[in-house]
Each structure stands twice: as structure tokens, then as C-alpha cells.
Amino acid sequence: MPGRPPFEIGTSKIAAGTRQTVELPVSVLSDHTPVTLSVHVVHGRRPGPTLFVSAATHGDEVIGVEIARRLMHAPSLNSVNGTVLIAPIVNTFGFLNQSRYLPDRRDLNRSFPGSPRGSLASRLAHLFMTEVVARSDIGIDLHSAAIHRTNLPQVRVSALKPETMALAEAFGAPMILTAPLRPGSLRQAAHNVGVDMLLFEAGEALRFDEFAVRAGLSGILRVLRALKMISAKGIAKPKAAPAHATSSAWLRAPVGGLLRTFRTPGEMVSVGDVLGIISDPLGEVESEVLATNAGLIIGRTNLPVVNEGDGLFHVAIVGHEGTEDAIDNLAEQLSNDPLFDEDEII
């Protein structure tokens, strides 16, 4: 019986049953330093789907880089059915500069599908689409909140296919937000070429968060298991169903001043709840920040100094009575899972 053919990417061919890091040329910096897109390819001996995992599309969202690093060292990847493509740093330019953007201030995640003759962002987007996305069946893109904000671990999905929503459920994050496709985003461009995606959001820019990292890694492994790409051994199922939301909104500062917050991501709130208080520096005037919708806090600012109109709390409209239980169960599971033993963090 003939063996499985090699996986081709760039100018490389990765034989079945092997793994290799491939460097795809992107550009040359102004000081003549070459820049490449690194993609780690795990090409299994047995056939199966091709799944890509990408991180640092926004260069300052470093939490995904750590998730990808741990994924590459996960023992489960030693025996894969199908192929796993891992791109830990898509936007090298932003990563080196600790910036969300590329040097020309373009947002890579608004530049897809790109063009080989466009701007730097457009060329990078085209390369990623051509070499990684178009060779895949499904993708997982790892993100965090923007700088000075933090996000509850969550999966965002368009859910145009029932099987994609099933994978979002399998991921096991506390919440699934059905979000529309944004023009120029990687999710929209991937959808247009028939590749559905899960977008994982957790933590904050330029910071690591161990809970968020563990939630991301365990979620990816669960998706691989659900696709029958890896063995189910040692990978626990979520103890509680995630909450579902189809809409969310930012609660914004009614005035400028110094913000004291009373609620955190992962907490349910009701209409009229006091989430924080904004005071002027002299303490003469105070304004309460009141919840205008009932739901789950999925994001929050970390800055105490705010201006009128700044986003303070991101609230998703959910109707799941066990939402906080799902979050507590995930925290308990991640702390007790032998895969994440403190002495054996990969």
C-alpha cells in the first residue's frame, strides 16, 4: 500500500510521519535583515484533515505565541492523523515592535485576502492565505484583547456550518460568541475560500495569563480530538456547556476621570448593577457606571484613567443560567488536569 504523499508548502516537502519548521520569505527590513513567516508542519503518517493554528496576527497579542509554543511540544502531536500547521508569529513586524500593526500602521487582520503586489500588509496577508489557509480544512486563530484591556477566554465563530459550531462547543471555552465576519479579516477571507475558523480570545496584549494559556491549549487539543486527529487519551471533556451569545456591547464611560472597577470578566450582571465609579481627581464629583444590559462580562479595561466615551466593560447578552459554573468548572479542570501539572508545563 503506497504511503501518504508529502505535504508541500513553499519550496519544502515534508514526508509523512515527520515534522519540520518551514521559513517562508516575507520581506527584507530597511537594514537588510530578512523576515520570514515560520510555519511548523506536523504531517501525520495517516490521512486526516489539515488544521492551521495562527497567532500574533496582531503583533502585540503575545498570549497566542505561548499557546502555539506549548502546542508544538504537546505529546499528542507525536501521532497525528492528518496535518497540523502552526504559525506562532504571523505579524513578525508588529511582534518585534510590540505593536498591533505593521510598520505602515496597517492592521493585518483588515488586509486579507491581500495581494502579491500591494502594501506590506497586503503581501503578508496574501502569503499566509496562499501557503497556509488555502492548504487547510479548518483554522484556529489566537487573539487577546487590545492593549490595556483583558478578555475572558471565549470562542468567536460565524457558525455558518453546524459542524463548525460543534467544534466551538468541543473547544470548551466558557463562552461562544456568534460574531459576524468583518471585511478584510482573516475569518472572512478564509470563509470565502471554504475554510471555516474558530477565533479564540483571551487575556490582554503584551501579557501572559496562565489561565488563558491553558484554556487555549486545552481547547485546541479538544478540537483535534473532535476531528479524530489525535487520541482522546488524557484530554478531558469540558465539565459544563459554554454559554452562547449572539450580541455584545461595550459599556462606555459617561465622564472622564479615575475609574474604580467592582466587577471582573466572567461575572454575570443585571440591569442597573454598579460596575464601577468614576471620580474626578479631587473627589468632588462621582459618577456610577451602571449596567444597561443583563449578561456576562467578557472584557474590561485595565486603565484607571479614562476619558468620556472610553470602553469600560464588554458585556455579552447570554441566557445561560450556568454560565458562571462553566467558568468555575473550567478553572478547576485546568488546575487539576495532569496535562498542566505545574512541574510539567511544556
Please state the φ and ψ torsions of residue 180, each to the nearest 5 degrees. Answer: -65, 160
The DSSP annotation for 80-95 comes to -EEEEEEES-S-HHHH
Q: What is the pLDDT of residue 346?
A: 42
Q: What is the pLDDT of residue 234?
A: 81
For residue 212, the surrounding DSSP H or E stretch is: helix 210-226
For residue 119 the three cell numbers come to 502594501
Class for the domain spanning 7-226: alpha beta
Please state the φ and ψ torsions of residue 247, each to the nearest 5 degrees. Answer: -155, 155
For residue 164, the surrounding DSSP H or E stretch is: helix 162-171
Q: Which residue has the cell 500547521?
A: 85
Report the topology of domain 247-319: OB fold (Dihydrolipoamide Acetyltransferase, E2P) (2.40.50)
| pTM as predicted | 0.93
Averaged confidence pLDDT in the chain: 92
With CA atoms as reference, report the closest residue to 278 among 261, 264, 298, 296.
Answer: 261
Q: What is the pLDDT of residue 197?
A: 96
Low-confidence ranges of the chain (pLDDT < 50): 1, 338-346
With CA atoms as reference, report the closest residue to 178 among 129, 243, 83.
Answer: 243
Domain map (residue ranges) of the chain? 7-226, 247-319
Q: What is the pLDDT of residue 235?
A: 87
Q: What is the pLDDT of residue 160?
A: 73
**Rounded Cα–Cα distance for residues 51 and 37 (Å):** 17
